[in-house]
Amino acid sequence: MAEKSGLFFPVDPGPSAKIGGMVGTNCSGTNAVRYGTMKDWVINLTVVLADGTIIKTKRRPRKTSAGYNLNSLFVGSEGTLGLVTEITLKLAVVPQEQSVAVVTFPSIRDAASAAAGVMRAGVQVAAMEIMDEVQMKVVNLSGSTAPRKWKELPTLFFKFSGTKASVKDNIQMVGAIAKKHKGGDFEFAKDAQEQKMLWSARKESLWSMLSMRKEGNEVWSTDVAVPFSRLADIIEISKKEMDDLGLFASILGHIGDGNFHESILYDSRVKGEKEKVERCVKNMVNRALEMEGTCTVRTSFSLILLLSTNTSRANMELESAKRKPFSKKSVPIPSA
């Protein structure tokens, strides 16, 4: 569709995400560093409230100052305020020029410091992702970019897009910042096909990692984000603690959003293994929160711990008060 219309939808979370769920979570993803999150692309929503009332959150114009900002109330409300039945979205113009490159670093701290440097310098990258040496090895082993093989070192993936001149300019600026943090030379994807393969290797990385698990292994996948000023600190300490587990584990993430994930494979049949992974994950989450960061948890981690640490009681009370006018029972809509 993009090729024909010259337009595309830039919000890009997990490969299985559906539009309703993307609204429900105000999702982000690889392109959020440049294009923002779902809330930035919703023009209006048709919502059925708990009592059957149907509302439209907004009309077409961009101007939003008249009345409540209902788009922002419903986007990210996790289905608790109403059922979204129609969604009108904006599309972005396909950029004139696009380039994809990777650059390696001697340590994960150097890679994270370079990423923070890029963001703090205000360089307009289209996407910036991090993968540690284990994750790069997984990409090579999976063969998803064969015959090309990548260096198995902490790596930043960049997408540059814009006019020819702005892309050239951004590459130069990022190159200089990377050098300052001991980065190697850029390796560019040689054509559109290789760009696609490289980016899909990043997108499919969780599945590539899962395909390597031994029989009986489970994966613990974590998700934290911190301010750029603390990114290098948290990623260095967390990686060390994760490596010390002695398990098959890797780091990757949307580093341009100050975000990274750990994926740790463990065997709950081995005495104490799950508990040590849980300790490591809790330490990372607590560290992120102490650094004024945030977390989401995708596995069986205690919801109570998450709620009591990630949001304050006052936040939770405000959220539940907000829900009351929409439904006396506040029944959440089940996930699709």
Q: Does 76 bind ligand FAD (CB under 6 A)?
A: no
- Applying CB under 6 A, among 5, 6, 7, 14 the residue interacting with ligand FAD is 14
Q: Does 33 bind ligand FAD (CB under 6 A)?
A: no
Q: Does 138 bind ligand FAD (CB under 6 A)?
A: no
DSSP secondary structure letters along 72-108? HHHTTSTTSS-EEEEEEE--EEPPSEEEEEEEE-SSH
CB of 61 to ligand FAD, least distance (A): 24
CB of 308 to ligand FAD, least distance (A): 20
Cα–Cα distance for residue pair 302/252, rounded to 1 Å: 23
Q: Does 13 bind ligand FAD (CB under 6 A)?
A: yes
CB of 119 to ligand FAD, least distance (A): 17
- Applying CB under 6 A, among 24, 117, 154, 293 the residue interacting with ligand FAD is 24
Strand 294-297 with 218-225, pairing? antiparallel
- Applying CB under 6 A, among 29, 117, 162, 258 the residue interacting with ligand FAD is 29
Query: With contacts defined by CB under 6 A, how many residues of the chain interact with ligand FAD?
Result: 23
Which two tokens mark 317? 């009370």
DSSP secondary structure letters along 147-176? T----SS-EEEEEEEESHHHHHHHHHHHHH
CB of 55 to ligand FAD, least distance (A): 13
- Applying CB under 6 A, among 42, 167, 198, 206 the residue interacting with ligand FAD is 206
20 three-state secondary structure: helix
- Applying CB under 6 A, among 17, 70, 94, 245 the residue interacting with ligand FAD is 17
CB of 102 to ligand FAD, least distance (A): 19
CB of 317 to ligand FAD, least distance (A): 20
Q: Does 28 bind ligand FAD (CB under 6 A)?
A: yes
Q: Does 219 bind ligand FAD (CB under 6 A)?
A: no
**8 A C-beta contact, residue 156 and residue 178:** yes
b/e for 132-142, b at 16 or more Cβ within 10 A?
Answer: bbbbbbbbbeb
Mark the segment that binds ligand FAD (CB under 6 A) among 25-33, 63-71, 142-150, 155-163. 25-33
Q: Does 79 bind ligand FAD (CB under 6 A)?
A: yes
Cα–Cα distance for residue pair 310/225, rounded to 1 Å: 11
- Applying CB under 6 A, among 137, 181, 239, 254 the residue interacting with ligand FAD is 254
Burial class (CB in 10 A: 0-12, 13-18, 19+), 177: buried
In terms of DSSP H, where are the helices of the chain? 2-5, 19-25, 32-35, 70-74, 108-120, 133-142, 164-180, 192-203, 205-211, 228-243, 273-290, 303-310, 313-323
- Closest Cα partner for 202 from 283, 128, 278? 128
Q: Does 335 bind ligand FAD (CB under 6 A)?
A: yes
Mark the segment that binds ligand FAD (CB under 6 A) among 27-35, 112-120, 131-139, 147-155. 27-35
CB of 321 to ligand FAD, least distance (A): 19
> Is the backbone peptide bond immediately before 106 cis, with ω within 30 degrees of 0?
no
Query: Where on the chain is the footprint of ligand FAD (CB under 6 A)?
Result: 13-14, 16-18, 20-22, 24-25, 27-29, 78-79, 83-84, 206, 254, 332-333, 335-336
